[in-house]
Amino acid sequence: MKSVKTRFPPSPTGHLHLGGARTALFNWLFARHHGGTFVLRFEDTDRERSRQEYVDSIREALEWLGLYWDEGPYFQSERLEVYREYARRLYEEGKAYYCECSPEELEQKRREALAAGRKPGYDGTCRDKNLPPGPGRVLRLRVPETGTTVVEDLIRGAVAFDHREIDDFILVRSDGTPTYQFAVVVDDLTMGITHVIRGDDHLSNTPKQILLYEALGAEPPHFAHVPMILGPDGTRLSKRHGALSILAYRDEGYLPQALRNYLVRLGWSYGDQEIFTLEEMIAKFDLTRVNKSAARFDPDKLLAINAHWLRATPTPELAEEVKPFLVRLGLPVPEKAYLVEALETVKPRARTLLEAAEMLAFYLVEEVTYDPKAAEKFLTPEMEPVFERLVRELAGVEFSDEALERLFRGLSEELGLKLKKIAQPVRVALTGKTVSPGLFEVMRVLGRERVLRRLQRALEFIRKR
């Protein structure tokens, strides 16, 4: 088998979303698994809707996911001369012909066919007119009138298409621009693409493209059509299901390794394994393990996988990832050692980088803001003598989890109070909330000076009540 070469050909008419990202990932993994080549190509012949901002956005999303390309990016808008040459060749060999039917005539034919219960395809009016190129004329492929084209799909098996269901489709529009069907075949042929892995919404295009390869005297690539991604309710995935663009997931605090891991499991499996490193994906990815049925997007599972990768990422590395989120929240970025120590305490509880940044807030501000209900319930006059005692005792105790716990338990026994009756008010004084990482690790990270300062402030708050 010749060296594997795959491609990802997005249209720069929008941002990269989950479906496109999964297609890119499957093509990238297949190429990497076989030691082949991955090509990035922009199908930008739709000049009205194509935007440079989307080109930049798609590239940025692929790079963030770690899906770096080996060739490209190529742009169809820069290859028009190549398409013209192949169109001229098909016309001169009699495999394509020019059609002068106006849009109005075609619409009339379509209505008549529907009214008569026929398939509304082109009826071949200009097929034998031998028209030369001219203004307002389109170039159509001369599709065989009988027979079938069989797509030997690597996922679905053999799928047959009757030629009577395929009309003489357009290759070149009247303005001289190539259609999708034509440009994609010329691109894949001239770029040496060996495997086309794409969504199964393209399956109906494949017989047309195989017919084009045959007209050009070329061997088609191998095709693999991946089932679509559906929403949790079984309908086509959309924004209403909570699906975001890839860069929006990044900005929400998802990790690239988590999104890759989730995407690879959308329609592909390897036994019961759920968590995959990039190296494992490359080693194990095979088209025979792609499911034939549609995958369903589960935002909760994505969040759970992201939480796993947050915990699995070394904290110093994670600290760098969380810094932009601190800035976005208007929080100061502390020195690295303090950030790493604080992050260690929230890392087991956070599911995204944004959540981690929000949980870190009380470590980073000069004065915490008390939750009103928490302050009402826990910062009461009864706690004044307890806080005063703590301030005295904490001035000389070692700030380790063990020493702090011994101090609190001793004080609890001495005062005849349950430990939580002391711990929860102190938690509110130090963090402003009733929920936080373990109290003693919070105190250790904050350090003696911050803890004493916050307890003194809580005492002032209690005395003013």
Instruction: Specify the 3-state DSSP secondary structure of 199.
Output: strand
Helices (H), 135-201: 180-190
Phi-psi region of 9 (alpha: psi -120 to 50; beta: other; left: phi over 0): beta
Structure tokens at 88: 């001229």
Helix (H) or strand (E) segment spanning residue 403 = helix 401-415
User: If you search the block for the tokens 């991955």, which residue do you land on?
Assistant: 38
Which DSSP helix (H) or strand (E) runs through 171?
strand 170-172
Report helix, strand and coil shares of the chain as percent, to nearest 5.
50, 10, 35
239 has catalytic annotation: yes
Name 457's Cβ contacts closer than 8 Å, sequence gap at least 6.
367, 429
Task: Tell me whether strands 71-75 and 37-42 are parallel, antiparallel or unpaired.
Answer: parallel
- Asked whether the bond before 73 is cis by omega within 30 degrees of 0, the reply is yes
Residue 141 CB coordination number (10 Å):
21
State how far the alpha carbon of 81 is from the alpha carbons of 143, 178, 434, in Å. Answer: 24, 10, 68
Catalytic site residue from 239, 292, 377, 418:
239
Q: Which residues are catalytic?
A: 239
